[in-house]
């Protein structure tokens, strides 16, 4: 049976999602827990791999197992996993369901702390300098009008295309935080952190609007002015068509 897992994690102590030799990763820990419960190796496929230090509120993965008591499986996995990884939901889906290829939209939120914070220190970027929020909002809107995001993809990635379709891109100030929400059909490796880092450089006056547009049109990641720290980024949700998950 194919199972869909909805996962929440604090990525602070992990070397990203993807399993790596001699590194502690989210995928590696969940597969380890699955093997303990099921007495056999299990591979899981995710909707999108997150970088080291990046968090997720509703990450999605699928796997194929033979264990009909899903409530028991869910409890067992959460009993084995460290508290910074939580399996929020497990449900059976059609055998053709694919966590990555069937996803139609992913939504991330990046949080900038405008004042010092203790509780949110691992989930936001404390930024002590004034920011031109109007200019940053203009830049966020600009991203919905372009599709080629080569400038914002890390070097040596395996992408064959750099086209992404951003449906939502907006900054909102909420109490002592400036939050950037972005939704797209797909994201490139390191893309959201690149978008945020560039908008922050624009907002603090390190680059002007002409330079901002020029570096995007240059399609050269080596011209990227800054990469925002991983700790401020959270994968909020992955969206699927209802028919893809229907039994």
Q: Domains plus CATH for the chain?
A: 2-101 (3.30.70.580), 105-237 (3.30.70.660)
Active site residues: 51
- The reported pLDDT for the residue numbered 161 is 87
* Pair 50, 17: CB distance under 8 Å: yes
- pLDDT band for 141, please (50, 70, 90 cuts): very high
DSSP readout, the chain? -EEEEEEEE-GGGSS-SS--TTS--HHHHHHHHHHHHHSS----EES-PPPTT-EEEEEEEEEE-----HHHHHHHHHHHS-TTEEEEEEEEE-TT--TTTTEEEEEEEEEEESS--STTTTSSEE--S---HHHHHHHHHHGGG--B-GGGS-TT---S--B--EEEEEEEEETTEEEEEEEES---TTHHHHHHHHHHHHHTTSS-HHHHHHHHHHT-GGG------GGGEEEEEEEE-HHHH--
CA–CA dist 33, 38 (Å, integer): 9
Q: Which of 25-39, 193-207, 215-229 has the lowest mean pLDDT?
A: 215-229
Mean pLDDT of the chain: 94
* Half-sphere exposure (Cβ direction) of 237: Cα atoms closer than 13 Å: 6
Strands 125-126 and 103-113: parallel
- CA-nearest of 102, 242, 112 to 186 is 102
What percent of the chain has pLDDT above 90? 88
CA–CA dist 53, 26 (Å, integer): 11
- The reported pLDDT for the residue numbered 117 is 95
> Is the pLDDT reported for residue 246 higher than 60?
no
201: Cβ contacts below 8 Å, ≥ 6 apart? 207, 225, 226
Q: What is the pTM (predicted TM-score) of this model?
A: 0.94
What tokens does 27 get?
């995928």
CA–CA dist 5, 2 (Å, integer): 10
CA 108 to chain centre: 6
Helix 133-142 × helix 209-218 angle, to 10°:
30
Q: Which of 108-117, 149-158, 231-240 has the lowest mean pLDDT?
A: 149-158
Chain position carrying tokens 């907006």 = 170
Q: Which of the two residues, 129 and 44, has the higher pLDDT score? A: 44
- The reported pLDDT for the residue numbered 39 is 96
- The reported pLDDT for the residue numbered 33 is 98
- pLDDT band for 112, please (50, 70, 90 cuts): very high
> Is the pLDDT reported for residue 128 higher than 90?
no
């Amino acid at each position: 049976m194919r199972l869909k897992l909805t996962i929440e994690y604090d990525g602070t102590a992990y070397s990203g999602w993807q399993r790596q030799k001699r590194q502690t990763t989210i995928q590696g820990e969940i597969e380890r827990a699955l093997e303990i419960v099921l007495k056999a190796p299990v591979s899981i496929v995710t909707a999108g791999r997150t970088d080291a230090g990046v968090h997720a509120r509703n990450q999605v993965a699928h796997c194929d197992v033979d264990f009909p008591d899903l409530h028991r499986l869910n409890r067992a996995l959460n009993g084995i996993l460290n508290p910074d990884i939580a399996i929020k939901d497990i449900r059976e889906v059609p055998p053709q369901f694919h966590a990555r290829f069937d996803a139609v939209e992913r939504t991330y939120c990046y949080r900038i702390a405008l004042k010092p914070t203790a509780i949110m220190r691992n989930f936001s970027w404390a930024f002590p300098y004034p920011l031109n929020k109007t200019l940053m909002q203009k830049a966020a809107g600009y991203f919905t009008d372009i599709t080629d995001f080569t400038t914002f993809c890390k070097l040596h990635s395996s992408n064959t295309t750099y086209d992404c379709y951003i449906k939502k891109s907006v900054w909102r100030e909420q109490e002592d935080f400036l939050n950037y929400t972005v939704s797209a059909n797909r994201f490139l490796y390191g893309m959201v952190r690149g978008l945020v880092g560039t908008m922050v450089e624009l907002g603090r006056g390190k680059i002007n609007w002409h330079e901002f547009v020029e570096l995007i049109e240059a399609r050269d990641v080596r011209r990227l002015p800054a990469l925002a720290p991983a700790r401020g980024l959270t994968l909020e949700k992955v969206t699927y068509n209802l028919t893809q998950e229907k039994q």
